[in-house]
Amino acid sequence: MMEKRGHKYGSNRHGYCCLFLIFLFLNFFESIAQKKEQTVILNSALINEQFNLFRFKNINRLALYADRYKLQKISELVKQEKWEELYHALRDYVSRFGIKNFYKDTYLIWKLAKLTELFGDQEEAKSLYRLVLKHHQQGIDIKEIELYYDSLNKQEIELYVPIDYYYELVEYRKAIDTLQPPRGVLLNMGGNVNSRLADYGPSLNVNDNVLIYTSKRNEIRVQLEFHRNEDLFYSKKDGRYWSVSEPMKGVNTQYNEGSATLSRDGKTLYFSRCDSPDTYGDCDIFMAEMQADSSWSNVTNLGVNVNSLAWDSHPSLSHTEDTLYFATDRIGGFGLSDIYFTYKKRNGEWAESQNMGPVINTRHNEVSPFS
């Protein structure tokens, strides 16, 4: 799954983290036609009910929002202790934030969250506290924020079982269930799929009968040295059993390939390739097309609208196939790596990729989206 060089994921570029998990929030985007192009917007229920009520329209427009006049007014309202007026002024200012504001001006979100408890909606206050917890850098008492958030979130906290107790339950169930492994317990897929070396980054097709994954079982010679090469392999399910894995011919090269996802009809493959002459950065996202004889060809870089001079990987295609999510460590994000998305325009080209925003991304690493 195209692991990043220098990130704390281990040594493999394609990573170990795309095990059909993470980001269940990728509920889909709706497409609307406007000015002869397709614009994708987040599902309103996702934004308004589960997260915060702010659209943050400047996220992909401005790096940093600043208005001296409005900040001076906010400062005067603090001195005058006009808290309700301050609430409305802060709400307007924070809603205009660009990406850099989330780590430069986190304290303003913190102040707004406290005022929202008094003059606004409790769910909105919780979403603001969550933003502070995700994006704070320093200078804020994080324990105090957690106390405020927990006091509002007590009912939700009670719905969750402590992780240590959960693992105790799993082990107990494994011990008493001797006929069939309990649901959720991991099973090795066996020698037809796995090798003695690293096998990771699995992805299933829409019918759950084709498994594509990354493996380091192949060795290539570079000048006088031998190196383990990352390649894509696939296995097909026949009844209860998986076939012997085969390399994806036409896709694999002497460079590193991994982190693949298939279209619904299984005829288009999106994957990542690293350190090749046709990449813009460390790793880029490519596509390939299946031919009549089931071979793969027409391997194409998705271009500068999607890829950057940095690391771009972990592609995940929406069920409507008009939106592609991926991870990147390009400059200008919220953290070490962020989730971005691109969508298909009416002419079939991919639009300029956009950051998914502060609700999804944090100051840490976001990788392996799954839709």
* CB burial string 106-125: b at 16+ within 10 A, e below: bebbbbbbbbbbeebeebbb
In the chain, which residues have pLDDT < 70?
1-53, 139, 142, 146-167, 169-185, 222-224
CA 80 to chain centre: 43
Six-digit token string for 286: 């490519």
Q: Cα(316)–Cα(26) distance, rounded to whole angstroms?
A: 10
CB 319 within 8 A of CB 120: no
Long-range pairs for 118-125: beta carbons < 8 A, 24 or more residues apart: 118/83, 118/84, 118/87, 119/83, 119/84, 119/87, 120/87, 120/91, 121/53, 122/152, 124/52, 124/53, 125/152
Dihedral angle sign, alpha carbons of residues 51, 78, 63, 346: positive
Six-digit token string for 108: 């303003």
H helices present in the chain, as ranges: 44-45, 68-80, 83-94, 101-104, 106-119, 122-135, 142-152, 154-157, 163-176
pLDDT for 44 equals 34
Burial of 147 (0-12, 13-18, 19+ CB in 10 A): exposed
pLDDT for 350 equals 97
Six-digit token string for 115: 């005022």
Six-digit token string for 72: 């001076």
Which one, of 355, 370, 359, 352, lies nearest residue 38 by Cα? 352
CB 271 within 8 A of CB 13: no
pLDDT for 126 equals 87
CA 39 to chain centre: 20
Six-digit token string for 255: 């460079």
Q: How far apart are the first and last CA of the chain?
A: 16
Q: Which residues contact 114 (CB under 8 A, 6 or more apart)?
A: 125, 148
Q: What is the pLDDT of residues 165-196, one digit of tens each?
A: 666 766 666 666 555 655 666 788 999 999 99
Six-digit token string for 54: 């702010």
Q: Within 10 Å of residue 88's Cβ, how many Cβ atoms? A: 13
pLDDT for 188 equals 87
At residue 72, φ and ψ (nearest 5 deg) are -65, -40
CB 361 within 8 A of CB 338: yes
Rg of the chain (C-alpha set):
23
Q: How do beta strands 210-222 and 225-238 pair?
A: antiparallel
Which one, of 269, 206, 199, 192, lies nearest residue 238 by Cα? 192
Dihedral over alpha carbons 249, 253, 259, 261 (to 10 degrees): -30
